[in-house]
Amino acid sequence: MLDTVLRCVATLVVFLVFPLVIGQTEHKVMAHMQGRLGPMYAGGFHGWAQLVADGVKFAQKEDIVPAGADRRIFQLAPAVSLLPYLFVLLAIPVGPDGFVGQAIDAGLFFVLAVMGVGVIGKLMAGWASANKFSLLGGLRTAAQLMSYELPMVLAAASVAMAAGTLSLPGILDAWHWYWLPWQIIGAFVFFTAGLAELQRPPFDMPVADSEIIFGAYTEYTGLRFALFLLSEYVGILVVSALTAVLFLGGWHGPMADQLGWLWMLLKTFALAFVVIWLRVTYPRLREDQLMRFAWVGLIPLALVQLALTGIIKVAIS
């Protein structure tokens, strides 16, 4: 019982700290790549106070609920968007020998199902805000979820087929380095679909500030708006960690028994850096381009990966 409590507490600490580290890293990386002055100089040494300034800014803003909004749903939406990622983190293995918050036999199915719940929070926000831009953002979110959930599941299914299990620790136990070449297509599909589900650039049409003001978040202020931003950074952590587990071997590396957790963190944060890099590099897709990319691009690639995995699995068995 004590061991379970300690693991849950450790997961909560990771949940609260690592997303803030990713957010601070995004400030710094974008500042270097785009020549932004504030994040580099706020507070002195390398802009250490930028994250503090952002937190104070959100905390001091008034919490406003529009008069025409569905008040209870409006207030509940940020929590529904954020909390599912905490449960996903509980199931992601960090190291060998059971170094995981809670081992689940069907862990892959669990994490994919729970991640979809987080998107419902954005739908609730868009519907309850009594704002046409928010509603449009919510509808775009729904369309994007339906389009990109399928290739994400198919890419994950190819890994489960190769490992012969839905357990995330079991997948890592069965993982081999020779998986990297023939699972590269699935890795690309899974990671890209994960970015689209998080509505990260270039897949951020549901929150396009230049077109629909900020989508489902238009009417949110203060800490409730901050919770939506925090859920995005937690989502980056989750998608990066899952990609590392499924396709990059997770804790596998030199001296895995002692340093497995270190390899897992390095792979996760390397992928998080790629997420930030893509935000700076690529322009936003149009809505029709975004939908076409899923149905014409990613889904056929995911099916090819699934067929290739089946062929190789039969050939080596």
Query: Mind listing the pLDDT tens digit for each residue in 220-232?
Result: 888 888 888 888 8
Q: What pLDDT does 270 receive?
A: 93
- 94 lies in a domain? yes
Dist CA 216 CA 155 (whole Å): 29
- pTM for the whole structure: 0.89
* Percent above pLDDT 90 for the chain: 22
- 41 lies in a domain? no
- 52 lies in a domain? no
Model confidence pLDDT, tens digit, residues 13-52 = 766 788 888 887 888 888 878 777 767 777 666 667 777 7
- 72 lies in a domain? yes
- 183 lies in a domain? yes
Q: What is the dihedral of CA 43, 49, 55, 61, to 10 degrees?
A: 10
- 132 lies in a domain? yes
Q: Name the domain count of the chain.
A: 1
Alpha helix (H) residue ranges in 35-106: 38-41, 50-60, 71-91
Dist CA 281 CA 195 (whole Å): 14
- 101 lies in a domain? yes
- 168 lies in a domain? yes
pLDDT band at 3 (very low <50, low <70, confident <90, very high): low
Structural domain that includes position 75:
65-316
Strands (E), 124-192: none
Dist CA 275 CA 199 (whole Å): 11
